Amino acid sequence: MKLGFIGLGQMGKHIALNLLKSGAELTVIDTRADSFLEFEKRGAKTSTNLLEIVPADIIFLCLPDSNVVHKVLLGENGIIHHLRKGQIIVDFSTIKYSTTLEIAKSLEEKGVKFLDAPVSGMEARAMEGTLTVMCGGKKEVYAEMMPYLECMGTKILYMGDTGSGQLTKLINQLLFDINVAALAEVLPMSVKMGLDPENVGEVVNSGTGKSYASEFFIPRILKDSFVDGYPLKNAYKDLISAAEIGANLCIPMPVLSSATTTYQMALLKGHGEKDKGSMIAVFEDLLGVSYRS
């Protein structure tokens, strides 16, 4: 069995390395060769040429956004023009639901199977191979891919028809996004009222206010570190997707709308390259305080 993997970014690199546990022949593709040596040492083929992936029986993608996935698969120079009947595409990227449906339809017309399988869990879990994988597509394709998915995840769920994986990932991300926006707004208030930042952090992370977001970001904010999480500018795509779905289905989401405003303010302030924890700077500036050790 020949596997192909496109996209060796923060998450993709580790997912691809874990796929080597399957024992299958692996070819990895990226526009940059930074990670190639690590793969070559472990027997994988590497290339910056997208067409080198075409012979693979199963092609995995882990790319930044909808536009990149669409370009790689369906664009003028996309691989769809070279795919053959019976191949399988598995997309680990987090992209728009509408884009996923378009891709699945185009691939089906070529006789190519498709599974949308976005992942949840930060870089550490990608390295450990303990990601959560949410799958959408035909159940028989999901079953066929299970041995490979088990190489990089420990909770692998079949969510339903094509696009269901992306919709489930979106729900999870939106709750996380709201959590981080709440931390950014409320933690500076504690300093404004004269409370000690470290003590407040200990109370939150040992009390009812605790969340994965607070456990991950509070220690890093206290250390003035905003480089460990997903870049804010990339995370914003989830909020765009939610706004589009909410508008189309007439679903009111007042809390999410408020959180989106916080993201927008942080992006306008130039924090897009930093992780979500950097949103706290918006409210620190407004209140004239600093939530640091």
Q: Which residues are catalytic?
A: 169
Q: Residues 6 or more apart from 141 whose CB is under 8 A from it?
A: 88, 113, 114, 115
Alpha carbon distances (Å) from 216 to 24, 29, 64, 211, 239 = 35, 31, 22, 9, 21
What is the number of alpha carbons within 13 Å of residue 291 lying toward its C-beta? 33
Query: If DSSP codes are grouped into helix, strand and coil, which group holds residue 159?
Result: strand
Residue ranges of alpha helices (H) inside 153-231 are 164-192, 197-204, 212-222
CA–CA separation, 123 and 127 (whole Å) = 6
Spatial neighbors of 36 by CB under 8 A, at least 6 apart, are 28, 30, 46
Closest CA to 240 of 91, 60, 99: 99
- Smallest CA-to-CA distance from 291 within 186, 188, 181 is with 188
